[in-house]
Amino acid sequence: MLHKCAPGHTWEPKTHRIHVTYRGSAFRALPTAGKLSKGHLECGWVRKMARKLNIVDCANKALPVLAN
């Protein structure tokens, strides 16, 4: 989804969280794989990241489950 909706984004895993940036906006709260209790990323994180990176419309099209 990020490759399609945020071309040129950066993805930088830090010690605790993943730091994603796109066009001057940043999202720092994505959990690293080891912190995911269910082994996958819940929609709440992706929705929040899409809002912070200003890619909501594209993200909802790429991942329709986000729009539910």
Partner 1 sequence: MADYPLIFTLTHEIRCPKFSARVVSRGRALMTVEDGLWWCHGVEPGSLTEQGSDPSVAFAAFKEALGEILQDLAGDASSFKAFERAAQEFIVDVDSIEALRWEAARLQITSGAQIETFFDRLPRETREIRAQVRVEQIDHILAAEENVVLAKAA
Residues that bind partner 1 (CB under 8 A): 14-17, 19, 26-29, 31, 42-45, 47-48, 51-52, 68
Q: Which one, 47 or 62, has the nearer CB to partner 1?
A: 47
How many whole angstroms separate alpha carbon 30 and alpha carbon 20? Answer: 8
Q: Which one, 9 or 28, has the nearer CB to partner 1?
A: 28
The DSSP code sequence of 7-64 is TT-EEEE-SSEEEEEETTEEEEEEEPGGG-TTSS--HHHHHHHHHHTT-HHHHHHH-G
In the bound complex, what is the minimum distance in angstroms from residue 17's beta carbon to partner 1? Answer: 6
Q: Which one, 14 or 23, has the nearer CB to partner 1?
A: 14
